A and B are shown apart, each in its own frame.
Chain A
Amino acid sequence: MMVHEKIAKDAFKPDRESHIKIDHNICKEKCKIKYCLFVCPGHLYSFNEELNEICVEFAGCLECGTCKIACIEGAIDWSYPRGEYGVQYRYG
């Protein structure tokens, strides 16, 4: 089973605006390894060739916090989604 199929099993209330903000200048100038591309358990980060920048599908965020910690250059500004938005675990 692919990871996006797994995420599709979860209940989400997506906000219009992303709770994850990326400073693309830091990505381009400082970050070599791009940890976000492989540490996210939802595999939500990808490199968009056309835009030449990192993209995140914030609506599927599991709110684990791994990217916030792994982005040691500080390009990822991660906060909790606004109240009642985001993932709503039914088992937890």
Chain B
Amino acid sequence: MEKIDAVIVGGGLSGLACAYKLAEAGMQVIVLERGDFSGSKNVTGGRIYLGPIMSIVGDMFKDAPFERRISRERWTLMGDDNSISIDFTGDRYKKTNNSYTVLRATFDRWLADRLIEKGVFVIPKYRVDDLLWDGNQVVGVKAGDEDIFANVVIAADGVLSFMAEKAGLKARMKPKNYALGIKEIIELSEEKINDRFNVDINEGCAHLFIGEVTKGMFGGGFLYTNKKSVSLGIVVGIGALMEMTPTIEVHTLMNAFKGRYEIERLIYGGELVEYSAHIIPETGYRNISKLFGNGIIVTGDAAGFALNMGVTVRGMEFAIASGIFAAETVISAKTANDFSEKTLSLYENKLKDSFVLKDLSTFRKLPDFLENRALFTLYPKLLPDILEKIMFIGESPKEKIGKQLWAEVKASGILSMKTLKDIISIKDI
């Protein structure tokens, strides 16, 4: 049996980044993608941060089809029928190409095409069914009737990673460790987007929402501006959704969100062109799979590399970095002519030395903090409610601001030992 250097299961960002670096080093590599083309099975919110990977990607993303460069960030606290927003921008956003919105069906496909031009086999319409073993060593994959042998298998097959599962590297997936993301692509003219979001040509806005959007469940809403569309969606913890009483049909949350005045005005006149959904790893560091075995390496979402910091949500740059480190590991393993767990452990060391495991480790206590229901109910509602009392001039004479504020704070129930504990717990995150 003839072995190639690596077979990559999944033509998403981690798989393609891995193939890119392997091809650069002259390795023989095949990427198997189950969709019609790379990106056709992928869903992102989507925003990518290039900052952390700038120094390792080389020219990988030269002339890449990014949608818009983020130059404006917004967060909105959603009350039941009111909201308060923060709008942030700065010169730094103008001067650096740090973060972009992307659409995966465009972006991943472009990267796959670049690889194909370089002579890499990126084979679409191929679902990998199983791993091939020689004793306790993974030696390739089985796709339909075909067996493909390789020194190393890269499991880049996304959050549901059947490969990591089959290799015994991944624990059973528990609802509380994952969230469901639902997204709508709404087409709007470039000009309307520029005007409505107060951004220049090719500049974009990233907008996150917390509070009423998820009816108190873990999660929130998002809106990212693309060139000629917006990506509008919600994220809900699957565990929280399952525990909710009375039960909520999750698809109704999306319509409720879209129907909010705050959103409705932004997407008015736009046309829905795609409805998508995907699950997201949510518990960061503690839910990372075992990262390697004999003849196998797990990358990107498959390994659980995603980080929700509440105010920022990250995943794609972790996927790309892990794909690159996997490639470097395969190259070293080839030099040593040893593809056992022992050599492949280099992959984990590389991740530990980089932002991937450093950031995930730094924020490892964040998921506990985000489990606190008050973050999605009490706190987001409080500010808009207070502001409404102060701002709204009605029939009755106004009370002193301080007095009203105090009454509001008292009535909200926020003055409790629990709040104090919540505030103290901030030091841990």
List residues of A whose CB falls within 8 A of some B CB.
1, 3, 6-7, 9-10, 13, 33, 35, 37-43, 62-66, 68-70, 72, 79-84, 86-92
Contacts and interface: CB of A to CB of B under 8 A. Distances in A.
Contact of A89 (B42, B254, B272): B42
27 contacts: A9-B274, A10-B275, A39-B238, A40-B251, A41-B254, A41-B277, A43-B251, A62-B275, A62-B276, A63-B41, A63-B278, A64-B181, A64-B279, A65-B279, A66-B178, A66-B180, A70-B175, A80-B34, A81-B34, A83-B124, A83-B125, A89-B105, A90-B40, A91-B104, A92-B41, A92-B105, A92-B274
B191 to A, nearest CB: 20
B255 A1 contact: yes
B105 A90 contact: yes
B184 interface: yes
B277 A62 contact: yes
B184 A69 contact: no
A92 B134 CA distance: 37
A9 B275 contact: yes
Contact of B272 (A9, A69, A72, A79): A9
Given A9-B273, A9-B274, A68-B173, A92 B178 contact: no
A1 B178 CA distance: 27
**What class of interface size applies to chain B in its complex with A?**
35 or more
Interface of B: 34-36, 39-44, 103-106, 108, 124-127, 143-144, 159-160, 162, 173-175, 178, 180-182, 184-185, 229, 231, 238, 241-242, 247-251, 254-255, 272-279
A9 B270 CA distance: 14
A60 B54 CA distance: 39
A82 B127 CA distance: 6
B56 to A, nearest CB: 24
A85 B84 CA distance: 44
A19 to B, nearest CB: 10
Nearest to B187: A91
A7 B183 CA distance: 11
A57 B39 CA distance: 24
A69 B162 CA distance: 13
B41 A87 contact: yes
Contacts of B40: 88-90, 92
A24 B185 CA distance: 36
A13 B86 CA distance: 43
A71 B274 CA distance: 26
Given A38-B249, A69-B173, A83-B125, A64 B35 contact: no
Contacts of B182: 41
